[in-house]
């Protein structure tokens, strides 16, 4: 992650929240390599499932090799299923911006370069889009990233395509893989340090 993420600790919750009737229990977020984003959200209390996959392009190009070309319109994304009684969409967004990725990097995350690594919130409905856009305005007004504007897109979710099976729980199953050690593990450690009250207490299934 870039130096601008040093200010991520203590990001506020969104001032605008979903009502109980609007809460869907589903979020789709893209913030670079889905191995790393999945690892962060799997550690949160109330998160029921995190699925890596692709969003932004067509079904015909929703495979890893093709998406890696950067020409499909897809971004590597995760679909998060959560219990709204235990964690809210606003808390997921807070973690997304503070820990899961650097929202000030356009079409890349660190050494991962290409539109498939861009920062996108794929809103499942108009209520989510409203909250996400308001939160981005809120953060840009308070400038937590020291002059680096947020470049995260907010787009309506058209479809989410699950990734190939070998990508699922990749960080968990490959803890000593060099990329996981260098990129994913520091994010999980930051989550555990900065968001301890949100961590799950039950064993992961």
- Please answer whether residues 35 and 52 qualify as being in contact, where contact means their C-beta atoms are separated by less than 8 angstroms: yes
Q: Which H/E stretch holds residue 89? A: helix 89-95
CA distance 41 to 100: 8
68 in catalytic set? no
Catalytic residue among 33, 36, 68, 182: 33
Alpha helices in the chain (DSSP H): 34-41, 64-67, 89-95, 126-142, 170-173, 178-179, 185-194
User: Checking DSSP bridges between strand 153-156 and strand 119-123, what pairing results, if any?
Assistant: parallel
186 vs 205: CA distance, rounded Å: 22
**How many Cβ atoms are within 10 Å of 157's Cβ, its own excluded?**
20
Neighbours of 60 (CB within 10 A): 8
- Residues labelled as active-site residues: 33
């Amino acid at each position: 992650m870039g130096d601008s993420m040093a200010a991520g600790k203590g990001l506020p919750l969104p001032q605008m929240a979903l009502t109980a009737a609007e809460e869907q229990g589903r979020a789709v977020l893209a913030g670079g390599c889905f191995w790393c984003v999945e690892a962060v959200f799997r550690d949160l209390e109330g998160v029921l499932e995190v699925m890596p996959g692709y969003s932004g392009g067509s079904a015909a190009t929703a495979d890893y090799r093709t998406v890696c070309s950067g020409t499909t319109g897809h971004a590597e994304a995760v679909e998060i299923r959560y219990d709204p009684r235990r964690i809210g969409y606003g808390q997921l967004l807070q973690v997304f911006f503070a820990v899961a990725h650097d929202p000030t990097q356009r079409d890349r995350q660190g050494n991962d370069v290409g539109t498939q690594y861009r920062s996108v919130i794929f809103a499942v409905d108009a209520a989510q889009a409203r909250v996400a856009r308001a939160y981005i305005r809120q953060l840009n007004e308070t400038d937590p990233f020291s002059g680096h504007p947020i470049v995260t897109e907010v787009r309506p979710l058209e479809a989410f395509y699950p990734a190939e099976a070998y990508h699922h729980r990749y960080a968990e199953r490959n803890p000593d893989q060099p990329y996981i050690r260098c990129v994913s593990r520091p994010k999980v450690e930051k989550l555990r340090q900065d968001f301890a009250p949100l961590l799950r207490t039950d064993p992961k299934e």
